[in-house]
Structure 1
Amino acid sequence: MKPFLILQLRPEVEAADEEFTAFLRRGRLDRGQVHRIRLDQEPLPVDLSLDDYAGVIVGGGPGCVSDPPEARNPTEARIEAAILSLMPEITARDFPFMGCCYGIGILGHHLGAPVTKALYGEPVSPTTATRTPQGAADPLLADLPDRFDILVGHKEALDDLPEGCVHLLEGPRCPFQMIRHGQNVYATQFHPEADGQSFALRIRIYRDKGYFPPDQAEALTAACRDVMTEASGRILANFTARYGA
């Protein structure tokens, strides 16, 4: 089987390592089945070919595609440019792609949809995802319940559904929790790889990054700690099973 390409955007070593481990666990993959690139540490290979991979998985990070260029540090700008450089081929070929949190902003931005901080940002918290009729028919969601718990935390979000996309999951505060472009290009606003332990670590690392008032860190950790996210994690397992076969 071809490996999955895992692209990570987090410059914090502890957060990146935990996220990578979570992708392996929830995706039911071992290290020999993936090629990991931390884009804060290395560029995309100049000879990278999508033909060498079963699919692409993109993790989250502190950057926002809606930030103006002058507000970004050089690392964030380079990471975003690297991811965006792959999107024309991914969408043109309908190549298997799973973008998690930051990845939905990347996909939406590439497709020309508005991605802003104006409407649907969500604080670090548990919430509920509900399958749309199209979601109930999607192969990655077919074995999931109609409603299940997810973990979120994002400053920006899609203001509208991008052209050519199908709306798969909706939430009470942020409507576009999962979308699909074509048949094989997916993105989630929530973190399908994460559980309460993941969020406890991220809350500690990102407490001063503007996602929440720092004095709420302990309460947020308690609110996320025992959330049952097994259903959301099956989305990653279904993705890797479908495209890694």
Structure 2
Amino acid sequence: MKMELWRNLMKPITIIKTGKTFPDLIDKNGDFEDWISRGIGLPNSEIKIVNAESDILPEPDQIRGAIISGSHAYVTDNLDWCLRLEHWTKMIIDNQMPLLGICFGHQVIAKAMGGIVDFHPISLEIGTKEIELLPSCENDPLFTGLPARFKVHLFHSQSVIQLPANTTVLARNEFEPHQAVRVGKNAWGVQFHPEANSAATRGYIQNLLADVKSADYEPDQLFEQIEETPYSASLLKRFVELI
């Protein structure tokens, strides 16, 4: 038993990179995988970055857990690499390996397991917003003990419209009923961005200013509402501790 535990601990936490953020944000603070790596808080030797667009995705027995990043791609585009990722995601979940999907990754998990993803019927959701945890979090190993309400960073235009079977909704807000879910026992999806900080959210509002205005948001108000989101950020370390 001790040898099996040791072998598992020697396997990496795998970050599945599914795209790039805006160039100006990369220049200032790195890319999606860098944000996630910093949030995890493990040495680089314990983290493996896999590019879903070009790399071979690892077998379940090669990892001890995985995080699927956000992306500027759309799940509904059914790109070849994304369809491969969906197949891999289902295999990981079927093998009960710990998995966390962030925004696009959250949507990939839902679609891979039979849910429906599409553009949100209202508009994009962007900025620092509050989410509400549901009573289901009381027995959830990732969310238990967190406050009933806390702030998160959000920037997305697609959502999980219909949940797959065997899914528990963990968090919501007025805009998005599926802010956090658990699929089965070991897979979680969050529509928000626990890896993002205030600078990232400010950068997304600036880069998407035309979309923000067309969605009838007031940019100055969004900028004023930006703040750090420590409870959201804690989910990355919580996920690693859970593994």
**Please, what TM-score do these two structures have when normalized by structure 2?**
0.83
Which 5+ residue runs of structure 2 have no aligned equivalent?
Answer: 1-8
Whether 1:24 and 2:25 are equivalent positions in the alignment is no
Residue 29 of structure 1: how far off its partner (Å): 1.8
CA distance in 1, matches of 2:101, 2:235: 12
Structure 2 counterpart of 1:233: 233
Mean CA deviation greater in 12-21 or 172-181: 12-21
Q: Could you tell me which residue of structure 1 aligns to residue 183 of structure 2? A: 181
* CA contact 2:213–2:219 (8 Å) conserved in 1: no
Is 1:219–2:220 an aligned residue pair?
Answer: yes
1:4 and 2:13 correspond: yes
Question: What is the CA–CA distance in structure 2 between the aligned matches of 1:25 and 1:224, rounded to whole Å?
Answer: 24
CA separation of 1:240 and 1:224: change in aligned 2, threshold 3 A: farther
For 2:123 and 2:219, locate their aligned partners in 1 and report how far apart those are by CA, in whole Å.
21
Q: Structure 2 CA distance, aligned partners of 1:118 and 1:142?
A: 28
2:127–2:153 Cα contact (<8 Å) kept: yes
- Segments of 5+ residues of structure 1 without an aligned counterpart are 70-76
Q: C-alpha deviations, 1:19-59, integer Å up to 9, x for none?
A: 2222122212221111012334x3225xx322121111011
Q: Is the 8 A contact 1:154 1:211 kept in 2?
A: no
Larger relative contact order, structure 1 or 2 (CA cutoff 8 Å, min sep 6): 1
The residue that corresponds to 1:36 in the other structure is 49
**1:73 corresponding residue in structure 2:** none
Q: For 1:168-218, what per-residue CA distance to the aligned partner results, in whole angstroms no more than 9, with x for missing partners?
A: 1111210100001111111100011111012233444x437x753499896
Question: How much does 1:66 deviate?
Answer: 2.3
The RMSD of aligned alpha carbons is: 2.5
Sequence identity (%): 21
The one-letter code of the counterpart of 2:238 is: N
1:92 Cα deviation after fit: 1.1
Cα distance in 1 for partners of 2:141, 2:211 equals 33
Equivalent positions of 1:147-186 (< 5 A) are: 147-186=149-188
Partner of 2:5: none
Could you tell me how far apart the structure 1 residues matched to 2:139 and 2:220 are?
37
Q: How many residues align?
A: 229
